[in-house]
Chains A and B, each alone.
Chain A
């Protein structure tokens, strides 16, 4: 008789609890994963944390569905707008300028982070000084090669010393998927501010919200106190 068997070994919804427990674990991961990862990363250091899932990998996003293929031989960088002498630089013009190197963490707004990325390039402030910024300048706009993406910095932010027009990453020319051959690197801010496939730098008289800003991200994508100098324009939204 089945009734006797049930009395002898009662059935409980163990399976349901297991199932809901795993789903709850996932929900907790979404809610608390950011803090947990930071705590774990701080405790283990970036070396070990990089071996864990979630750590130390670039995830490549594209807003167009592809990556522009720009040979260094035809690459041009334009510096224009409210400047005394507009510039139009080739890749070799750019690499002939005094270069700096830096090693910085790259923090994406979607949560991943890569520590210790080495960059080489020309400080943005150097290019701006070469062109000679007019006193009416308020902001600097950046355009990508395919004109799909754009970014914007206030002029006082643009002069921060470690904002770089980078042409080398990890000791090699910046690759196509990382925004090569030349990209902007803004280590003080979330990754979306570091425009890839940089083709034009325009000095303008007002902030022009870029692609991501038009989609709800703050123009001031500042990483709170985690890198470099403090934000010279804390009141920008």
Chain B
């Protein structure tokens, strides 16, 4: 018999099933929204407008439905983890703010999510509200004053560009950090990883286990 050199790896649950399902529904809806937005926005450049009306309907319904999975994940008894994580996004230490403003050069005790991840989540959450409301004005424009519609057009466009930048950045960061990305598939990260990247959370989880 040989003794195993590697100790059994303790894994911590980073995202529960509800969170992973919501994340991947959101990912699919964002993908559909971005891909249907391209022909809607640049349609006149392509000249051909294949099934434009159908594309428009898909874009509209994906957009209308977008907030629902997240809202559903917050309300019931199944939403305990999601609610706790939203709370983490809300309250920051001064150290975290300094970390974000120095782009990670100034060290601080890191929570379950680093300030960049928190900012990403907050931006996307707020952007969903803005896109939903401006999209509503664009679709049902007859009920709003002309100047609102003009403003909604400009705002929907600018936020769309910002969202594409943020989503691409999110995917690039995820691919660069396979352990973190893996937890959105499997749910867990190793305690080792948590100690390195989310020290406070690792300690917190250690004390509860």
Q: A54-B157, A60-B43 are in contact. Are A30 and B94 (CB under 8 A)?
A: no
Nearest neighbor of A175 in chain B, beta-carbon distance:
B47
Write out the residue numbers on chain A whose beta carbons fall within 8 Å of the beta carbon of B41.
57
| A110 in contact with B138 (CB, 8 Å) | yes
Partner of A22, one of B95, B122, B134, B161: B122
Write out the residue numbers on chain B whose beta carbons fall within 8 Å of the beta carbon of A9.
93-95, 109
CB distance from A95 to the nearest CB of B (A): 21
Is A177 in contact with chain B by the CB < 8 A criterion?
Answer: yes
Among listed B70-78, B142-150, B174-182, interface-contacting one: B142-150
Q: A53-B161, A110-B138 are in contact. Are A60 and B44 (CB under 8 A)?
A: yes
Is B13 in contact with chain A by the CB < 8 A criterion?
Answer: no
Q: Which residues of chain B (81-119) have a CB below 8 Å from chain A?
A: 89-97, 109, 118-119
CB distance from A183 to the nearest CB of B (A): 15
Partner of B42, one of A27, A31, A57, A177: A57
Q: How far is the CA of A34 from the CA of B153 in the complex (A)?
A: 9
| A33 in contact with B90 (CB, 8 Å) | no
Is A229 in contact with chain B by the CB < 8 A criterion?
Answer: no
Write out the residue numbers on chain B whose beta carbons fall within 8 Å of the beta carbon of A228.
none
| A111 in contact with B43 (CB, 8 Å) | no
Nearest neighbor of A64 in chain B, beta-carbon distance:
B53
| B125 in contact with A14 (CB, 8 Å) | no
| B91 in contact with A23 (CB, 8 Å) | no
Chain A residues proximal to chain B, CB less than 8 Å: 9-16, 18-23, 25-27, 29-34, 36-37, 53-54, 57-60, 62, 65-67, 109-112, 114, 175-178, 215-216
Chain B residues proximal to chain A, CB less than 8 Å: 40-45, 47, 49, 52-53, 89-97, 109, 118-119, 122-123, 125-127, 129-130, 133-134, 137-138, 141-142, 146-155, 157-161
When A and B form their complex, which 8 residue pairs have the shortest distance between CB atoms, in order from nearest? A111-B150, A26-B130, A29-B155, A33-B151, A53-B157, A34-B150, A22-B126, A33-B154
| A53-B160, A57-B42 given; 17 more Cβ-contact pairs under 8 Å | A9-B94, A10-B94, A12-B94, A15-B89, A23-B130, A26-B130, A29-B134, A29-B154, A30-B134, A32-B151, A33-B150, A54-B157, A59-B40, A60-B43, A110-B153, A111-B149, A216-B142
Q: List 8 A-B contacts (CB under 8 A).
A: A19-B89, A22-B127, A30-B137, A33-B150, A34-B154, A53-B158, A53-B161, A177-B43
